[in-house]
Structure 1
Amino acid sequence: MTEREPVETPFPEPVFDDPPVVDPYRLPEGVRPVRYDLHLEPDLAEATFTGSCATSLVLDDDAATITCNALELVIDEAWVETSDGTRLAPTAVTMDVDTERVSFGFDEPVPAGDVTFHTRFRGQLNDKLRGFYRSTFTDADGAEQTIATTQFEATDARRAFPCWDEPAHKAVFSITLVVDADLFAVSNAAQVSRTPVEGDQGRHEVRFADTMVMSTYLVAFVVGPLEATDPVDVDGTPLRIVYPRGKGHLTSYALEVGAFCLRHFTDYYGIAYPGDKLDLVAVPDFAFGAMENLGCVTFREVLLLVDPGEVTQAELLNVTDVINHELAHMWFGDLVTMKWWNGIWLNEAFATFMEMHATDAFRPEWERWVTFGLARSAAFDTDSLSSTRPIEYPVVSPADAEGMFDILTYEKGAAVVRMLEQYLGADAFRSGIRLYLQQHSYATTETTDLWDALEEATGEPVRRIMDSWIFQGGYPLITVDLLDDGGTLRLSQHRFGYAGDLGEGDPQPLPADDDATRWSVPLIFTQKSTQDGVVTFEKVLLEGDSIDIELVEPVEWILVNTEGTGFYRVRYAPDLLGALVAHAPTDLSPIERYGLVDDAWASVLAAETTAADFLHLAESFATETDLSVWQRLVGCLHALDRLVDEPEDRLAFQERVRALVGPALERLGPEPGQDEPDRTRALRGVLFEAMGTIGAHDQTVLDARVLVAHPDTADPAMAAAAVNVVAAHGDDADFELFLERFRGASSPQEELRYLYALADFDDPDVVRRLLAMTLDEVRTQNAPLLLRRALTNRHHGALAWFFVAEEWTTINDRLPSNSIARMLEGIRSLSGPEMAPAVFAFFEDHTVPQGDKILAQHLERLEVNVALRDREAAAFAGSLR
Structure 2
Amino acid sequence: MTRRSTRAMTRLAAACTIACAAVVQAQPRFSFDDTPGVLPKTIVPSRYAITLDLDPARDDFSGQVLINVKARKSVPFIELHASELKATRATLFSGGVARALHVVTQDESQTWRLMPVDNAPIAVGDHRIELAYSGQVHPYGEGLFRATSERNGKTEPMLATQLEAISARTVFPSFDEPVFRAAFQLTVRAPSQYEVLSNMPAEKHKVDGSATVHSFAATPAMPSYLFSVAVGHLESVSGQAAGVPLRIITAPGKREHAHYALKATQQLLPYYTQYFGVPFALPKLDQMAVPSTRWGAMEDWGLISYAENDLLVDEKKSSARTRRDVYQTVAHEVAHQWFGNLVTAASWEEIWLNEAFATWLESKATDKFNPTWKVPLDDRVPIDRAMLIDAGSATRAIRSGPVRESAVNDVFDPITYAKGGAVLTMLEHWIGPKAFQQGLAAYMRSQRLSNATAGDLWYHIGRASGRDVNAVAASWTDQPGFPLVQVQEACKDGKASVTLTQSRYLNAAGTATTQVWKIPVSMARGKAVKTQLMDSAQQTFSLGACSAQPLVVNAGGGGFYRVAYEPAALKALTASYAALGEGDRMGLLSDTFALVQSGRVPLNDYFSLLAALPRVNDPSRTMLWNVARSQLEFLDSSMAGTPAQQQVRSTGRTLLGPQLAKLGFTPAAKEEAATSELRAGLIQLLSQFDDEETVRKVLRAFDDDESGKAPLPTSLREAIIRATGVHADKARFDKLMARLKKASGEEERWLYAKALASGRDAKRAQELLAASTSDLAPPNVVTALPGMVARNSPFGEMAYQYTLSNFKRLGELSGTWGRQFLLPKAAEGFNDAERAAKLVEDQRREVGKDGDTLAAREAEAIRLRAAVKAREAAGLEKALPG
Please tell me whether the aligned partners of residues 374 and 628 of structure 1 are also in contact (alpha carbons under 8 angstroms). Answer: no
Q: 1:632 to 1:848 in 2, by over 3 A?
A: farther
Pick one of 631, 648, 656 that aligns with 2:626.
Answer: 631
Distance 1:33 1:129 in 2: 27
Q: Does residue 95 of structure 1 match 2:82?
A: no
1:16 match: none
- What is the deviation of 1:160? 0.9
Q: Does residue 802 of structure 1 match 2:801?
A: yes
Please tell me whether the aligned partners of residues 402 and 851 of structure 1 are also in contact (alpha carbons under 8 angstroms). Answer: no
2:221 match: 213
1:341 match: 348
Query: Which runs of structure 2 are paired with 1:416-815 in the superposition (5 Å)?
Result: 416-485=423-492, 487-499=496-508, 509=509, 512-528=510-526, 535-555=527-547, 556-589=549-582, 591-625=583-617, 626-644=621-639, 652-694=647-689, 696-711=690-705, 713-745=711-743, 747-776=745-774, 777-815=776-814
Please tell me whether the aligned partners of residues 63 and 111 of structure 1 are also in contact (alpha carbons under 8 angstroms). Answer: yes
The code of the aligned residue for 2:632 comes to L
Distance 1:339 1:844 in 2: 31
Deviations 1:36-59 (A, max 9, x none): 111111133232111111111111
1:7 match: none
1:146 match: 157
Please tell me whether the aligned partners of residues 502 and 516 of structure 2 are also in contact (alpha carbons under 8 angstroms). Answer: yes
Please tell me whether the aligned partners of residues 253 and 307 of structure 1 are also in contact (alpha carbons under 8 angstroms). Answer: no
Please tell me whether the aligned partners of residues 799 and 826 of structure 2 are also in contact (alpha carbons under 8 angstroms). Answer: no
The code of the aligned residue for 2:572 comes to A
Distance 2:88 2:614 in 1: 71
Q: 1:774 to 1:58 in 2, by over 3 A?
A: same
Distance 1:398 1:118 in 2: 26
Deviates most, 668-677 or 45-54:
668-677
- What is the deviation of 1:878? 4.0
Distance 2:651 2:51 in 1: 66
Deviates most, 674-683 or 607-616:
607-616
Deviations 1:479-521 (A, max 9, x none): 111124462111111111113xxxxxxxxx2xx4421111111
Distance 1:44 1:657 in 2: 51
The code of the aligned residue for 1:664 comes to Q
The code of the aligned residue for 1:706 comes to R
**Greater relative contact order, per chain length (Cα 8 Å cut-off, separation 6+):** 2
2:22 match: none
Please tell me whether the aligned partners of residues 818 and 850 of structure 1 are also in contact (alpha carbons under 8 angstroms). Answer: no
Pick one of 135, 138, 148 that aligns with 1:126.
Answer: 138
Distance 1:93 1:110 in 2: 15
- What is the deviation of 1:649? 5.6
Please tell me whether the aligned partners of residues 287 and 816 of structure 1 are also in contact (alpha carbons under 8 angstroms). Answer: no
- What is the deviation of 1:217? 0.3
Gaps of 5+ in 2: 1-33
Please tell me whether the aligned partners of residues 522 and 529 of structure 2 are also in contact (alpha carbons under 8 angstroms). Answer: yes
Distance 1:244 1:728 in 2: 32
- What is the deviation of 1:310? 2.5
- What is the deviation of 1:653? 4.3
Please tell me whether the aligned partners of residues 139 and 293 of structure 2 are also in contact (alpha carbons under 8 angstroms). Answer: no
2:72 match: 60
Indicate the SS of the match to 2:76. Answer: strand
Please tell me whether the aligned partners of residues 91 and 100 of structure 2 are also in contact (alpha carbons under 8 angstroms). Answer: yes
Distance 2:427 2:725 in 1: 43
Q: Which TM-score applies when normalising by structure 2?
A: 0.91
Q: 1:238 to 1:820 in 2, by over 3 A?
A: same
Distance 1:833 1:54 in 2: 55
Q: 1:65 to 1:330 in 2, by over 3 A?
A: same
The code of the aligned residue for 1:861 comes to A
Gaps of 5+ in 1: 1-21, 500-508, 529-534
Deviates most, 657-666 or 23-32:
23-32
- What is the deviation of 1:158? 0.8
| Corresponding residue pairs, total | 834
Distance 1:554 1:855 in 2: 50
The code of the aligned residue for 1:50 comes to S
The code of the aligned residue for 1:597 comes to L
- What is the deviation of 1:846? 4.1
Please tell me whether the aligned partners of residues 819 and 847 of structure 2 are also in contact (alpha carbons under 8 angstroms). Answer: no
Deviations 1:656-694 (A, max 9, x none): 322211221122123333332111110011112222222
2:17 match: none
Q: 1:465 to 1:309 in 2, by over 3 A?
A: farther
Q: Does residue 48 of structure 1 match 2:55?
A: no
Q: 1:495 to 1:825 in 2, by over 3 A?
A: farther
- What is the deviation of 1:233? 2.1
Distance 2:417 2:411 in 1: 9
- What is the deviation of 1:747? 4.5
Q: Does residue 158 of structure 1 match 2:169?
A: yes
Deviates most, 785-794 or 595-604:
785-794
Deviates most, 275-284 or 572-581:
572-581
The code of the aligned residue for 2:691 comes to H
Q: 1:851 to 1:351 in 2, by over 3 A?
A: farther
The code of the aligned residue for 2:284 comes to K
Q: Does residue 226 of structure 1 match 2:234?
A: yes
Please tell me whether the aligned partners of residues 741 and 777 of structure 2 are also in contact (alpha carbons under 8 angstroms). Answer: no
The code of the aligned residue for 2:163 comes to F
The code of the aligned residue for 2:875 comes to A
Distance 1:820 1:81 in 2: 41
Please tell me whether the aligned partners of residues 25 and 99 of structure 1 are also in contact (alpha carbons under 8 angstroms). Answer: no
1:506 match: none
The code of the aligned residue for 1:809 comes to K
- What is the deviation of 1:822? 4.2
- What is the deviation of 1:331? 0.6
Indicate the SS of the match to 2:624. Answer: helix
Query: Which runs of structure 2 are paired with 1:69-108 in the superposition (5 Å)?
Result: 69-83=81-95, 85-90=96-101, 92-106=102-116, 107-108=119-120
1:364 match: 371
Please tell me whether the aligned partners of residues 69 and 129 of structure 2 are also in contact (alpha carbons under 8 angstroms). Answer: yes
The code of the aligned residue for 2:809 comes to T
1:385 match: 392
Q: 1:827 to 1:873 in 2, by over 3 A?
A: same
Distance 1:842 1:613 in 2: 39
1:404 match: 411
Distance 1:466 1:647 in 2: 45
1:503 match: none
- What is the deviation of 1:643? 4.9
Q: Does residue 238 of structure 1 match 2:245?
A: yes
- What is the deviation of 1:308? 3.7
Q: Which TM-score applies when normalising by structure 1?
A: 0.91
Please tell me whether the aligned partners of residues 479 and 570 of structure 1 are also in contact (alpha carbons under 8 angstroms). Answer: yes
- What is the deviation of 1:821? 4.3
Please tell me whether the aligned partners of residues 796 and 828 of structure 2 are also in contact (alpha carbons under 8 angstroms). Answer: no
The code of the aligned residue for 1:204 comes to T
1:5 match: none
Distance 2:616 2:400 in 1: 41
- What is the deviation of 1:850? 3.5
Please tell me whether the aligned partners of residues 644 and 874 of structure 2 are also in contact (alpha carbons under 8 angstroms). Answer: no
Distance 1:244 1:289 in 2: 17
Please tell me whether the aligned partners of residues 519 and 533 of structure 2 are also in contact (alpha carbons under 8 angstroms). Answer: yes
Please tell me whether the aligned partners of residues 756 and 768 of structure 2 are also in contact (alpha carbons under 8 angstroms). Answer: yes
